[in-house]
């Protein structure tokens, strides 16, 4: 309970915050000789507004005849009646105001801290389309989403997770469109979270997904408001986490990996071509090194004669078996990618250039690898970047297929393909089949907005696997 004596309240809060240097407890008297205590965390409060809208009005105008809400003109002022509540509000950047003789505390929000400006995400750059991306402030991210969906049925529900971090998490959906089964299942899983810290949306993803041990995630994420808005309009639920620009969406289906937001801003036939190109890139990224090794070791008769002679000549003088050669180059490539990513940008670019020289020209001239191996590994590496949402699975499965191709030839590659396909088909995302509309097969989904991107005026229905109640999104303008 809050004491009528503000000195007692001050001592309790100083003790609760362990006498931290950034905790401010300012005690003063008004002109009417009323004792006031103001507590907040330094750095969370807009000091200019604090002086103008709180401190001066309290000192000059609070005389015992007026209530505090008549003196402080701010829409965000609340009353709390326990020290524990006050402590929690201060942690989230609010200002606590105690008045001598009053058993309630007034909490005011004047939060201000430095934040990154809104800019285009590096991982989701587009030629045509919105360039803005989410930032680390959840309130700004809500506004960015609200600007895309100017709808009174857009709902945000707030949670706090992490016993030590008290991280703010919000789920967003459109009432009347959202898949209610998915929404209720998400809430059930969120309620079970009991952890010390939530530092990034990846924590939430791992704690709520259906198959946490799978190499392929069943929860999607994006940094662009237009992508999240489009998925919410299909009946999905978005999960925003304070402190990260990566917003999660559920449920996820596999074909999202070959789609991009820019597909809907370009001509339908060109977008379809890009999707087919991404499918080819996906297969090349995973299977090309394994098939290359299998053909060289076990199935030379399948290689055209001229190419086989050239490949044999290129391998002359190379000391390593072809499996180890490709494995060595693939590992070296991953090391170069990782080091270029983790180092500062200027140094990272230098490392990438040096790595390319070492892995390319120098390696061939030294006779460690042959030129065709470098072409195959480089093609596989380039292909993975056309499907960035699936990179984590691609990198690991590439090694698996490579080893199977080296041990068993094309039979091993085929076994790996069957295993990966079975895993994809067996996965669910919040009750939605991950491989839809391929398995279970649904011709409408396959023909309209999966492998083929038909014109928007033909895209009349929402994906049936995601939204089963309110499935119509438009009436075709060509229908009379």
C-alpha–C-alpha distance, residues 89 and 357, integer Å? 56
3-state helix, strand, coil in the chain (%, to 5): 50, 15, 35
Q: Is residue 473 part of a domain?
A: no
Query: Residues 186-244: pLDDT tens digits?
Result: 999 999 999 999 999 999 999 999 988 888 889 999 999 999 999 999 889 999 999 89
Query: Residues 359-374: pLDDT tens digits?
Result: 666 666 666 778 888 8
Is 163 found in the same domain as 47?
no
Q: Which of 169-178, 248-257, 309-318, 449-458 is predicted with the least confidence, judged by mean pLDDT?
A: 309-318
Q: Is residue 164 part of a domain?
A: yes
Mean pLDDT for the stretch of residues 470-477: 72
Query: Residues 377-396: pLDDT tens digits?
Result: 889 988 988 888 888 889 99
Query: Residues 120-140: pLDDT tens digits?
Result: 887 788 888 888 999 988 989
Is 314 found in the same domain as 413?
yes
4 CB contacts (<8 Å, ≥6 apart)?
A: 100, 101, 102, 103
Q: How many structural domains comprise the chain?
A: 3
Is there a contact between 385 and 369 (Cβ–Cβ < 8 Å)?
no
Is 104 found in the same domain as 50?
yes
Greater pLDDT, 161 or 362: 161
Q: By residue range, what is the domain housing residue 23? A: 6-108
C-alpha–C-alpha distance, residues 415 and 421, integer Å? 10
Q: Of the candidates 292, 442, 196, 479, which has an alpha carbon nearest to the alpha carbon of residue 465?
A: 442
Is 170 found in the same domain as 128?
yes
pLDDT for residue 290: 94
Q: Is residue 41 part of a domain?
A: yes
Q: Is residue 320 part of a domain?
A: yes
Q: Is residue 462 part of a domain?
A: no
451-453-458-462 Cα dihedral, nearest 10 degrees: 60
- Final residue in a domain of this structure, among 205, 223, 252: 252
Is 247 found in the same domain as 152?
yes
C-alpha–C-alpha distance, residues 69 and 30, integer Å? 16
Q: How buried is 208 (Cβ within 10 angstroms: 0-12 exposed, 13-18 middle, 19+ buried)? A: buried
Q: Which residues of 100-130 are buried (b: 16+ CB within 10 A; e: fewer)?
A: bebeebbbbbbbeeeeeebeebeebebeebb
C-alpha–C-alpha distance, residues 376 and 398, integer Å? 12
Is 244 found in the same domain as 321?
no
Is 296 found in the same domain as 420?
yes
Task: Count how many residues are written for the chain.
Answer: 480
pLDDT for residue 367: 67
Is 290 found in the same domain as 165?
no
DSSP state of 100: T
pLDDT for residue 192: 92
Mean pLDDT for the stretch of residues 337-344: 74
pLDDT for residue 480: 45
When pLDDT is cut at 50, 70 and 90, the band that residue 246 belongs to is very high
Phi, psi values for residue 98, rounded to 5°: -105, 140
pLDDT for residue 419: 93
pLDDT for residue 412: 94
Q: What is the mean pLDDT of the chain?
A: 85
- Final residue in a domain of this structure, among 49, 80, 108: 108
Is 308 found in the same domain as 167?
no
Is 381 found in the same domain as 274?
yes
Is 232 found in the same domain as 287?
no
Is 287 found in the same domain as 228?
no
């Amino acid at each position: 309970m809050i004491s009528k004596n503000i000195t007692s309240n001050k001592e309790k809060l100083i003790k609760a915050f362990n006498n931290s240097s950034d905790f401010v407890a300012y005690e003063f008297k008004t002109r009417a000789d009323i004792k006031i205590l103001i507590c907040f965390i330094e750095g969370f409060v807009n000091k200019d507004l604090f002086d103008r809208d709180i401190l001066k009005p309290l000192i000059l105008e609070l005389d015992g005849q007026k209530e505090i809400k008549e003196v402080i003109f701010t829409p965000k002022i609340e009353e709390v009646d326990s020290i524990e509540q006050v402590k929690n509000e201060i942690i989230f950047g609010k200002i606590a105001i105690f008045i001598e003789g009053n058993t309630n505390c007034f909490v005011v929000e004047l939060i201000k801290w430095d934040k990154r400006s809104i800019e285009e995400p590096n991982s989701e750059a587009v030629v045509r389309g919105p360039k803005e991306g989410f930032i680390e402030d959840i309130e700004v991210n809500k506004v960015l989403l609200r600007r895309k969906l100017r709808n009174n049925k857009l709902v945000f529900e707030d949670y706090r997770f992490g016993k030590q971090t008290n991280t703010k998490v919000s789920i967003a959906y459109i009432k009347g469109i959202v898949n209610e089964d998915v929404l209720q299942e998400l809430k059930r899983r969120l309620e079970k979270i009991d952890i010390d810290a939530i530092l990034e949306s990846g924590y939430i993803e791992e704690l709520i997904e259906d198959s946490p041990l799978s190499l392929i995630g069943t929860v999607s994420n994006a940094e662009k408001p237009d992508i999240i808005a489009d998925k919410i309009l299909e009946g999905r639920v978005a999960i925003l986490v304070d402190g990260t620009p990566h917003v999660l969406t559920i449920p996820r289906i596999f074909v999202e990996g070959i789609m991009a937001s820019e597909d809907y801003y370009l001509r339908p036939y060109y977008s379809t071509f890009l999707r087919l190109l991404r499918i080819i890139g996906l297969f090349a990224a995973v299977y090309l090194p394994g098939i290359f090794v299998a053909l060289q070791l076990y199935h030379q008769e399948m290689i055209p004669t001229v190419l086989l002679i050239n490949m044999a000549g290129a391998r002359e003088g190379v000391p390593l078996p072809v499996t180890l050669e490709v494995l060595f180059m693939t590992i070296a490539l991953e090391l170069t990618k990782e080091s270029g990513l983790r180092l500062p940008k200027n140094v990272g670019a230098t490392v990438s250039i040096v790595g390319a020289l070492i892995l390319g020209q120098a390696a061939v001239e030294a006779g460690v690898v042959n030129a065709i191996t470098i072409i195959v590994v480089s093609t596989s590496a380039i292909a993975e970047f056309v499907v960035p949402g699936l990179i984590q699975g691609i990198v690991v499965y590439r090694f698996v297929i490579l080893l199977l191709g080296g041990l068993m030839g094309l039979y091993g590659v085929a076994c790996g393909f069957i295993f990966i396909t079975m895993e994809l088909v067996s996965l669910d995302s919040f009750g939605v089949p991950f491989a839809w509309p391929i398995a279970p097969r649904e011709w409408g989904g396959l023909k309209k907005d999966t492998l083929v991107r038909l014109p928007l005026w033909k895209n009349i229905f929402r994906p049936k696997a995601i939204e089963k109640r309110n499935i119509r999104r438009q009436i075709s303008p060509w229908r009379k």
